[in-house]
Amino acid sequence: MHFTIKKSHLVDALSHVNKAVSAKNAISILTGIKFEISNDGLTLTGSDSDISIQIFIPSVLNEDEIVQIFEPGKIVLPKYTFEIIKKLPNDEIEFKIVDHLTVLIKSGSSEFRLIGFEAEEYPELPQIDQKDIFTIQGKLLKTMIIQTIFAVSTKESRPILTGVLWNLNGQNLKFVATDSHRLAIRESTVENPMGLSFNNVVIPGKSLNELSKILDDHQVPVEVIVTDHQLFVKIDNLVFFSRLLDGTYPDISRIIPEKGKTKIRVQTKEILDAIERVALIAKDAKNNIVKLTTLDNQLLEISSNSLETGKANEQILAKELTGEPIKISFNAKYTIDALKTIDSQEIDIEFTGALSPFVIKPVDHDRMLHLILPIRTY
């Protein structure tokens, strides 16, 4: 193996691949990054066996020579190679295997000799049949992840809830996340020329968190493939793999109330700010309880009351307020988390009683829904 490469391209690629690599992996070879040079360019692979990320850097990009290949070959180098590369002085870096597993890295006057792992021992990434693809805009995928991932469970007592449920039906892709106290749903339209459909595909929250970071600057269509055990997302020259969670996601169709008894339309920012302020009183308490009460003249009261710290309340004028009066207690954090992901100016909130979940929806579209269960107090 012998090649030279432009530093900025390598740093860029390694910053993504590194996200999948953990220095503490029990499988020692997975603590490293696989470098594989062919006649077309350099392929980098990182994996922690839950997530794998692979990037291909072509030798020529936009008539610019990025990688100069002298001799193909492969090796697995330790994770901290990334730290070394970032600090090298020159824009051009030379890699050469000098002795079986020893790699010479040269840049300007700097010289490193790193001991790598045998690339033959690196596990094969899953082979994916690249036919069954649907496409979605990268930015939209990132938005859908952010608008649902906050609701996944962080507790291992019910592992399936630590993931986001993906359903595809025709052009409609739907994400669902819940920790059994609140639930977030986000839908959008995708290109599905193959007419694919799936349900009960559950992707670990941790994987989607990494994927959303990679999707940062990509306003391009990304290709998605879902197999029995893997999610596969292709963004330009980057391929992201994640394992799926085993198990059956609970049926959520029956927990969404059909019709509310109390309907409120308010400015998103106004109610978010009010809840955030009032919740400061209840901040240290376990459940972070805030109470919402409907008053006369389309007024809403948001209040909080703590034996130790005191009381807070404020009033909001609703745009609309219809139906039965209500007094309901809920966890401020759950509501704040949901409201923060809503980019619409106005929202509708529908209540069906003090012990039933309430629904928060944006007014200007119906692709998003939040459901929050109240707190029963005595």
Closest CB to other proteins among 104 and 354? 354
| Residue span 78-117 as binding mask against other proteins, x where in contact by CB under 8 A, dash where not | ----------------------------------------
Kindly give the interhelix angle for 138-149 and 205-214, rounded to the nearest 10 degrees: 140
Within its chain, how far is the Cα of 93 from the centroid? 33
Q: How far is the CB of 361 from other proteins (least distance, A)?
A: 18
Cβ-based neighbours of 180, under 8 Å, separated by 6 or more: 153, 158, 161
Q: Is the CB of 100 or the CB of 254 nearer to other proteins?
A: 254
Is the CB of residue 249 less than 8 Å from the CB of residue 280? no
Which is closer to other proteins, CB of 113 or CB of 311?
A: 311
Residues from 118 through 177 that contact other proteins (CB under 8 A): 155, 157-158
User: Number of residues in contact with other proteins, rule: CB under 8 A?
Assistant: 22
Please give the full DSSP string across 212-268, using - where no structure is assigned.
HHHGGG--SEEEEEE-SSEEEEEETTEEEEEEPPPS-PPP-GGGS-SS-SEEEEEEH
Sequence-ordered strand ranges (E) for 72-151? 73-78, 92-99, 102-107, 110-115, 134-137
Smallest distance, other proteins to C-beta of residue 287, A: 5
- Name the segment binding other proteins (CB under 8 A); options: 163-171, 266-274, 285-293, 295-303: 285-293
260 in contact with other proteins (CB under 8 A): no
Angle made by CA atoms 264, 315, 296, in degrees to the nearest 5: 60
Residue 96: left if φ>0, alpha if ψ -120 to 50, beta else—which one? beta
To other proteins, the closest distance from the beta carbon of 329 in angstroms equals 8
One of 29, 255, 363, 369 touching other proteins (CB under 8 A)? 255
The CB-of-212 to other proteins minimum distance in angstroms stands at: 25
**Single residue of 137, 143, 178, 262 touching other proteins by CB under 8 A:** 178
181 binds other proteins (CB under 8 A): yes
Among 100, 131, 286, 365, binds other proteins (CB under 8 A): 286
Residues 6+ apart with CB under 8 A from 289: 282, 304, 329, 330, 331, 332, 375, 377
Nearer to other proteins, 105 or 183 (CB): 183
Binding residue for other proteins, selected from 69, 168, 183, 290, defined by CB under 8 A: 183
Q: Pattern of binders to other proteins over 289-308, x per CB under 8 A?
A: x-------------------
Under rule CB under 8 A, residue 327 binds other proteins: no
**CA 193, CA 195: separation in Å to the nearest integer?**
5
Burial of 364 (0-12, 13-18, 19+ CB in 10 A): exposed
The interface region with other proteins, picked from 44-52, 87-95, 314-322, 368-376 by CB under 8 A, is: 368-376
Strand partners, 360: 349, 370
Q: Which stretch binds other proteins (CB under 8 A): 62-70, 216-224, 247-255, 345-353?
A: 247-255
**Interface residue with other proteins, options 287, 309, 313, 341 (CB under 8 A):** 287
Q: Smallest gap, in angstroms, from Cβ of residue 168 to other proteins?
A: 23
* Strand-by-strand arrangement of the 163-169 sheet: 197-204, 163-169, 172-178, 182-189, 368-372, 358-362, 346-351, 262-267, 320-323
Instruction: Report residue 372 CA to chain centroid gap.
Output: 21
Residue with tokens 């009460």: 293
Q: Provide the minimum distance between the beta carbon of 339 and other proteins in the complex, in angstroms, as a whole number.
A: 18
Using CB under 8 A, which of 294, 331, 335, 352 touches other proteins? 331
Instruction: Identify which of residues 217 and 307 has a Cβ nearer to other proteins in the complex.
Output: 307
Distance CA 221, CA 209 (A): 19
Candidates 125-133, 135-143, 257-265, 369-377; binding stretch for other proteins (CB under 8 A): 369-377
Interface residue list for other proteins (CB under 8 A): 155, 157-158, 178, 180-181, 183, 250, 252, 255, 286-287, 289, 331, 355, 357, 373-378
